[in-house]
Amino acid sequence: MKAIAYQHSLPITDPLSLQDVDLPAPQAQGHDLLVEVKAIAVNPVDHKIRQGVQPEPGQWKVLGWDAAGVVRAVGEQVTRFKVGDRVWYAGAIDRPGSYAELQLVDEHLVGALPARLDFATAAALPLTTITAWELLFERLGVPQGGGQGQSLLVIGAAGGVGSILVQLARQLTQLTVIASASRPETEAWVRELGAHHVVNHRRPLAEEIQRLGLPAPQLVASLTETGQHFAQIVELLAPQGKLALIDDLQPGELDAMALKRKSLSLHWEMMFTRSLFNTADKLRQGELLSEAARLVDAGTLRSTVGEHFGRINASNLRRAQALQESGTARGKIVLEGF
Q: What is the pLDDT of residues 297-336, one digit of tens each?
A: 999 999 999 899 999 999 999 999 999 998 777 779 999 9
Q: What is the pLDDT of residues 258-302, one digit of tens each?
A: 999 999 999 999 999 999 999 999 999 999 999 999 999 999 999
Statement: residue 251 has pLDDT above 80: no
DSSP bridge partners of 6: 61
CA distance 313 to 19: 8
**Which residues in 306-336 are b (16+ Cβ under 10 Å) and which e?**
bbebeebbbebbbbbbebbbeeebbbbbbbb
- Residue 142: name the closest of 169, 176, 167 by CA: 169
pLDDT at 263: 98
Mean pLDDT (the chain) is 95
Statement: residue 254 has pLDDT above 90: no
For 140, the enclosing helix (H) or strand (E) is none
The larger pLDDT score, comparing residue 69 to residue 329, is at 69
Q: By CB neighbour count within 10 A (0-12 exposed, 13-18 middle, 19+ buried), where does 88 fall?
A: buried
Give the model's confidence band at 253: pLDDT under 50 very low, under 70 low, under 90 confident, else very high: confident
Q: What percent of the chain has pLDDT over 70?
A: 100
Statement: residue 250 has pLDDT above 90: no
pLDDT at 164: 95
pTM attached to this predicted model: 0.94
CA distance 267 to 77: 35
DSSP H stretches of helix in 66-135: 119-123, 126-133
CA distance 71 to 239: 49
Strand ranges, E, within the chain: 2-6, 19-22, 32-42, 61-62, 67-74, 86-89, 102-106, 110-112, 151-155, 176-180, 197-199, 219-222, 242-245, 265-268, 305-308, 332-336
Q: What is the pLDDT of residues 167-180, one digit of tens each?
A: 999 999 999 999 99
**Which residues in 196-207 are b (16+ Cβ under 10 Å) and which e?**
bbbbbbeebbbe
pLDDT at 328: 79
Residue type at 66? Answer: D
Write the DSSP symbol of residue 139.
Answer: I
What Å distances lie between residue 337 and 37, 124, 303, CA to CA? 8, 14, 19
Q: What is the pLDDT of residues 110-127, one digit of tens each?
A: 999 999 999 999 999 999
pLDDT at 227: 87
pLDDT at 322: 95
